[in-house]
Structure 1
Amino acid sequence: MNSIAPASTAASLDDPFYYLANFRFVLAWVEKRHHDLLAVEERHFIERFAALSRASQALLVRMVMRKGELFRLDKLVYAEIGDSATAMAPLKALGWVDDAPELTLDELFDQLRLSELRQALADEIRQTPLKPSSAKALLREKLTARLSHLQQPLARWWPEATTVVVRLQVMALCDRLRLMFFGNLRQDWAEFVLTELGLQRFERVAFNAASRAFQSRAEVDVYLHLHWLRQRLDEGESPASVYAELPPRADNAWLDARRARFLFQLGQGAERAGEARLAVTLYAEADTTEARVRRLRVLEREGHHREALDVAQRALAGGPGEHEAQALERLMPRLAKRLGLAPVARAQAPAFERWELTLPGPQPVEAAVAAHVATPHAPVYYVENTLITGLFGLLCWSAIFAPLPGAFFHPFHHGPADLYRDDFVSRRREAFDACLALLDGPGDDYRQRIRATWTEKWGLASPFVHWAALPETLLDQALVCLPAAHLRLLFTRLLSDLKTNRAGLPDLIQLFPQAAPGAPRYRMIEVKGPGDRLQDNQRRWLGFFARHALPVAVCHVRWQREAPSEGEELTP
């Protein structure tokens, strides 16, 4: 029997069987690292696949990598495979392909051309007022009521059929193997191709026995069950019936986080369906920041003010994060007023510098402000959510990509799988502390670390570094102008809530490399065009800048309708 040998991470596209090499790589990886999670059927599949001829292997993989489970044999034409019927025969013998599957009317319409449908359904069409020349959509609409109950092989639909339709029977099995490899069903075989094309490059992370997404077969089953429930919800099934089949919490942190996200989606569906009480239940069980905030909003909207206030007070006592605290600060005064309680004072928002500009337009507002404010010695860059996060990602690269259990499962990770879990930072506390400590020293160790990482890792996928937005010129100027103490403050806030705080940073940065000693050498600028308002995450970042005396301004722009008169323009 032939054995399945691991290939390189991504096979060369010069090899006409590159896709087969990649599939075999996945099988070898799963067989080696997940052998204890494989059922007898899956082990037999891997063994029998290895025993097939290359042509049969390749044809199967071609189908696996295409969309759906139904295929016309006359469309499975590949030069490197040769005769598809010959390559298909062993797959039929194994039961992996059904060459006479029962087809619904919708499946028949999906597989046949209009001219073929007119032949296959000629008798049925004659029994309707339709013309034989009717369009495909009209034929489907009019025949559905008459034929939707039928499910039969193509030979019954069309005895004179000139093609063969087959159904792939092992797609679910292959999806399970793909899930065990990637740890999700979002990534597919295209990851290999994009890597070989050089469009994606990934950090190399060491793997060990604990470096896999699932530690038991039951966990794989839970993931697939959640995926199936999500499909049912997307197809219009009621949130209540889907919720009734939700599996219990798993003893797997990242899988449990996925379950919580799905509970939030169910809650949103219940809200849309007008099932407020169910939505409250779902949000309470999800118990994420977003879900807790949404639960309070539903309670308030439904008039359950006392219940909402009790929930809000418990949340406030629990030390909420900034996002949740901001929502509570807005909600509690309203609830107190409606309940006739003593007024709840709102915290005073920190003040920050405000500009108003009248500029020629309309045009991209950030570009207009940058062009107006910049000078030869004080350049302005558009850096929204890329510069600060990029510098953070470069300084803390080793901590972010630390090969901890449950963080990396395969060679195609854009970032750690546990990136947004509550324990992401705590699991790497010592590593992050060591990185941030470089900002405390008297020298420029942190600059050297950031520059070295930029050079060594350039182009590798990162959840924080967007290489196109961080050219070397900007990097060098930013490292000159942004004080280490300021970077420490900014990075510390990022680490307090990576998912929420990576967004909302100001649009522009102006750098003053020639500023006098003691003067600020940069300022962040949030730009708002006509009718645009500050978002909550932007307000939180602006408040942070103001509280720590970091230079920031908010620039409100209006467009001039004609040439401005002297003195009309207000400049910063």
Structure 2
Amino acid sequence: MSAPLPPELYYLGNFRTALAWVTGRYADLLTEEERAFSDTFYALQWQSQALLVRMIMRKGCHFRLSKLNYPEIGDCLNAAKPLLESGWITEQALLKADELAEVLRKDEVLIHLPVTDRRSSQKKTELIEQLRAQDLPAQIFSDWCLELDDQLLSLVVGELCDRLRLMFFGNLSQDWSEFVLADLGIYRYETVDIRPESRGFQCRQDIEDYLHLHQLRVRVEQDEDLAVIVPPLLAFSSSNPYLCGRQSRLLFQIAQRLEKSGERQQALMLYQRSEHGEARWRQIRVLEQLGRDAEAFQQAMAFSDAPVSDEESQRLERALTRLRRKLGVSIAKQPKSTGERRLDLVLAAPEHGSVEIAVRDHLHQGDAPVHYVENTLLCSLFGLLCWDAIFAPLPGAFFHPFHSGPVDLHSPDFYPRRQDMFDQCLKQLEHHDYGQLIKARYQAKYGLQSPFVFWGMLDEARLDLALKCIPAAHLHACFTRMLRDLRANRAGMPDLIQFYPHERRYRMIEVKGPGDRLQDNQKRWLSFAAQHGIAVEVCYVRWAEA
């Protein structure tokens, strides 16, 4: 076993940990190139390992030797020699003039590169555009900069290391800085028993499919021709739900772009192919835009028989009302909605702070404190009560030790896969000691990353007030609603909560400043609260005249 690394080589220790994790978990999926990389890496002197990791963690793939200054490594040129011999880095990379200009200072660009306008007032970005317009043939660094006393080292194994990073994190959006933040104690994560069957990719094709979808996404972000990107995206298929979800999201995003640009027929086709949670009601909207109202009506009727979420149900109801009016179809009388409980206030406009803070301070009493919590309080209570279900080590839920929550949190089958576990969590609310369980969970898990618990706003005093004043039946109803659609129903909750601890009751207050109005998700929460006897008021504020 190698000796422990000194603290300043934390990044090398982190990379070794990740590499060992990947080679252990994915040994059967690695290519010969990836296995050879791992074997060769461990055979290098630690100085060469450290330099490679430094280069991998930095942005880009071209690095001037003069900029590679790491005291813990020492002589970086000497450390680079084994990397050059292995072909992992090179001094022979061919660069276009505009590419080279990115790693030079502006004054060096003016001296060493053939810019057409050498005025010192030129910005570096303008010089790069001049070079790009010339489309000069690529050369190596030393041929471009004959008189510059420096060397350029270019990373060759960047894509290979990205594949290893993908296998470790399960995505390419996270990078090695996650280790650093954990080392510094900035982020702390729940310890999950990540079993072999929980790895993100079950076969090599899964890895290749992810990279294929990622490349298509990059091309969309670079505004390439969608007519070239869409066919391979539509042709994509996989048995991996994680990858199918990524395909659906990208189809949905492209459809949105097409809809905004007026290409509605193409947008409709992609919405119909996407399993994204908002794709169905957007189909109705596009059909209306195309003037196909009868088809939109039939489709909305079919969707409304089994809405996938409260949001969709609300949008379909509006669409059906609108379409019935257009088509001359009789409109069934809707049950009268419960009127909102209204509170009107005239307050002095605050010099600092929001309207919510102004209302909080106005309503606050010593024996009836008001807290500005918005969506954080109920979500935090839910997260504490249901911690074990949320962090259950189901296959495909956790790929590595740096997850703040399960990968499938917002997938349609998140709750069905864990329904029995969530039922057991909510059943705790039937016992008189559920508050003790939540407080014990608060103590045991304090500070760990969670998709629901907002540690910064949930101190023990506020937790005690909430458990004392909010009935278990209300918590059960709210948590059950959240589980129906976690993405949508964890938002839209009232801004303020006022506790009456002596009476063991509370009220929630949604605050609306001058000109503000209720959003759809807020209306859904108000309707839900009225159905379950939860006291909620909407406070409309006007500023007093000076």
Fold-level match, TM-score > 0.5? yes
* Alignment RMSD (CA, Å): 1.8
Report deviation, 1:115: 2.0
Which residue, out of 56, 64, 67, partners 1:75? 67
Partner of 1:248: 236
Partner of 2:409: 419
Which residue, out of 36, 41, 46, partners 2:38? 46
1:481-524 Cα deviation digits (max 9, x unpaired):
00111111111101111111111111110000112xxxx71011
- CA distance 1:91–1:316, change in 2 (3 Å): same
- CA distance 1:197–1:153, change in 2 (3 Å): same
Alignment partner of 1:285 is 2:273? yes
Report deviation, 1:129: 5.5
Report deviation, 1:84: 1.1
Partner of 2:158: 171
Q: Supply the distance in 2 between the matched residues of 1:549 and 1:436 (Cα, whole angstroms).
A: 19
Report deviation, 1:340: 2.8
- CA distance 1:129–1:511, change in 2 (3 Å): closer
Q: Supply the distance in 2 between the matched residues of 1:306 and 1:139 (Cα, whole angstroms).
A: 57
Alignment partner of 1:84 is 2:71? no
Alignment partner of 1:477 is 2:465? yes
Letter in 1 for 2:525: W
Letter in 2 for 1:425: Y
Partner of 1:364: 354
Letter in 2 for 1:264: F
Partner of 2:290: 302
Q: Supply the distance in 2 between the matched residues of 1:186 and 1:347 (Cα, whole angstroms).
A: 47
Which residue, out of 534, 542, 545, partners 1:558? 542
Alignment partner of 1:211 is 2:209? no
Alignment partner of 1:186 is 2:173? yes
Provide runs of 4+ in structure 1 moved above 4 Å. 344-347
Letter in 1 for 2:229: V
Partner of 2:302: 314
Partner of 1:526: 510
Report deviation, 1:132: 6.0
Report deviation, 1:188: 1.0
Which residue, out of 16, 26, 34, partners 1:24? 16
Q: Supply the distance in 1 between the matched residues of 2:540 and 2:176 (Cα, whole angstroms).
A: 46
1:131-170 Cα deviation digits (max 9, x unpaired):
3664423333334322x24222123322223222222111
Partner of 1:568: none
Secondary structure of 1:289's aligned partner = coil
Report deviation, 1:178: 0.7
Report deviation, 1:50: 0.7
Q: Supply the distance in 1 between the matched residues of 2:412 and 2:128 (Cα, whole angstroms).
A: 50
Alignment partner of 1:430 is 2:420? yes
Partner of 2:400: 410
Q: Supply the distance in 1 between the matched residues of 2:413 and 2:122 (Cα, whole angstroms).
A: 60
Secondary structure of 2:456's aligned partner = helix
Report deviation, 1:218: 0.7
Secondary structure of 2:543's aligned partner = strand
The question of whether the paired residues in 2 share the 8 Å contact of 1:4 and 1:27 is answered with: no
Partner of 1:388: 378
The question of whether the paired residues in 1 share the 8 Å contact of 2:170 and 2:200 is answered with: yes
Q: Supply the distance in 1 between the matched residues of 2:71 and 2:118 (Cα, whole angstroms).
A: 41
Structure 1 residues 460-539: aligned runs within 5 Å: 460-515=448-503, 521-539=505-523
1:370-409 Cα deviation digits (max 9, x unpaired):
1111111100001111111111111111111111111111
Report deviation, 1:308: 1.4
Alignment partner of 1:239 is 2:261? no
Alignment partner of 1:274 is 2:258? no
Unaligned 5+ segments in structure 2 are: none
Q: Supply the distance in 1 between the matched residues of 2:58 and 2:513 (Cα, whole angstroms).
A: 45
- CA distance 1:39–1:499, change in 2 (3 Å): same
Alignment partner of 1:100 is 2:87? no
Letter in 2 for 1:275: E
Percent identity at matched positions?
Answer: 50
TM-score of the superposed pair, with normalisation by structure 2? 0.96
Which residue, out of 99, 112, 123, partners 1:120? 112
Letter in 2 for 1:295: Q
Q: Supply the distance in 2 between the matched residues of 1:440 and 1:136 (Cα, whole angstroms).
A: 67
Partner of 2:313: 325
Q: Supply the distance in 2 between the matched residues of 1:505 and 1:4 (Cα, whole angstroms).
A: 53
Q: Supply the distance in 1 between the matched residues of 2:415 and 2:121 (Cα, whole angstroms).
A: 65
Q: Supply the distance in 2 between the matched residues of 1:312 and 1:507 (Cα, whole angstroms).
A: 33
Letter in 1 for 2:544: Q
Unaligned 5+ segments in structure 1 are: 563-572
Q: Supply the distance in 2 between the matched residues of 1:209 and 1:289 (Cα, whole angstroms).
A: 30
Q: Supply the distance in 2 between the matched residues of 1:557 and 1:294 (Cα, whole angstroms).
A: 34
1:297-332 Cα deviation digits (max 9, x unpaired):
222123221221122111012244211010011111
The question of whether the paired residues in 2 share the 8 Å contact of 1:4 and 1:28 is answered with: no
TM-score of the superposed pair, with normalisation by structure 1? 0.92
Letter in 1 for 2:138: Q
Q: Supply the distance in 1 between the matched residues of 2:393 and 2:308 (Cα, whole angstroms).
A: 30
Q: Supply the distance in 1 between the matched residues of 2:332 and 2:215 (Cα, whole angstroms).
A: 46
1:344-375 Cα deviation digits (max 9, x unpaired):
54553322201111111144111111111111
1:401-434 Cα deviation digits (max 9, x unpaired):
1111111111111001111111111211121111
The question of whether the paired residues in 2 share the 8 Å contact of 1:270 and 1:278 is answered with: yes
Letter in 1 for 2:39: E
The question of whether the paired residues in 1 share the 8 Å contact of 2:245 and 2:275 is answered with: no
The question of whether the paired residues in 2 share the 8 Å contact of 1:333 and 1:346 is answered with: no
- CA distance 1:134–1:403, change in 2 (3 Å): closer
Q: Supply the distance in 2 between the matched residues of 1:86 and 1:341 (Cα, whole angstroms).
A: 81
Letter in 2 for 1:62: R
Letter in 2 for 1:296: I
Alignment partner of 1:375 is 2:375? no
Deviates more, 1:489-498 or 1:314-323: 314-323
Alignment partner of 1:440 is 2:423? no
The question of whether the paired residues in 1 share the 8 Å contact of 2:64 and 2:153 is answered with: yes
The question of whether the paired residues in 2 share the 8 Å contact of 1:263 and 1:286 is answered with: yes
The question of whether the paired residues in 2 share the 8 Å contact of 1:4 and 1:50 is answered with: no
